[in-house]
Amino acid sequence: MAWQRLELAREESLGTPGPPLEPGEKRAVRVGDREILVLRLGDEYFALSNRCTHAAWPLTREPVEGTEIVCTLHGARFDVRDGCPTGGPTSKPLATYPIELRDDELYVRF
Ligand code: FES
């Protein structure tokens, strides 16, 4: 496994360098054949698969409640910290990936 820098398009209006995401913000990014959801809660970053394990619905625009992301298609809920389902029609966890912030850049290990 190797660390890989994520190419996240910054909001142009921000102008100056800074953290890649604001608290509560999330973004989907493609790395090779993987579609990763990167999100920031407080000062912590998380990286997980962007596809619900129930029927592959994209999670990019789905709500985050506390530490859970909710797939509104059929109601699955996942803890973003470990990808484990906490409710709904699936028992399969989302893949999660180690993520680090270094000099305002995010790195994910695959
Ligand atoms: S696709 Fe997410 S709950 Fe069904």
Question: For 73-107, how does the pLDDT look when each residue is reduced to its tens digit (9 = 90+)?
Answer: 999 999 999 999 999 999 999 999 999 999 989 99
Ligand 1 binding site (Cβ under 6 Å of any ligand atom): 52, 54-55, 57, 71, 73-76, 88-89
Residue of 49, 50, 68, 74 to mutate, ligand 1, most atoms within 8 A of C-beta: 74
Ligand 1: which residue has its CA nearest to atom 1? 55
Band of pLDDT at residue 19, cut at 50, 70 and 90: confident
Question: What CATH number is given to the structural domain containing 65?
Answer: 2.102.10.10
Please report, for the chain, how many H helices and E strands are present, in that order.
Answer: 0, 11
The residue assigned the tokens 């959801």 is 37
* CA 58 – ligand 1 centroid, Å: 9
* Nearby residues of 90 by Cβ (< 8 Å), 6 or more positions away: 52, 53, 54, 76
Instruction: Using the atom order of ligand 1, give the atom closest to the CA of residue 55.
Output: 1
Domain that residue 59 falls in: 3-109
* Nearby residues of 43 by Cβ (< 8 Å), 6 or more positions away: 23
If DSSP codes are grouped into helix, strand and coil, which group holds residue 92?
Answer: coil
The total of structural domains in the chain comes to 1
* pLDDT tens, residue by residue, 53-68: 999 999 999 999 999 9
Return mean pLDDT, the chain.
Answer: 92
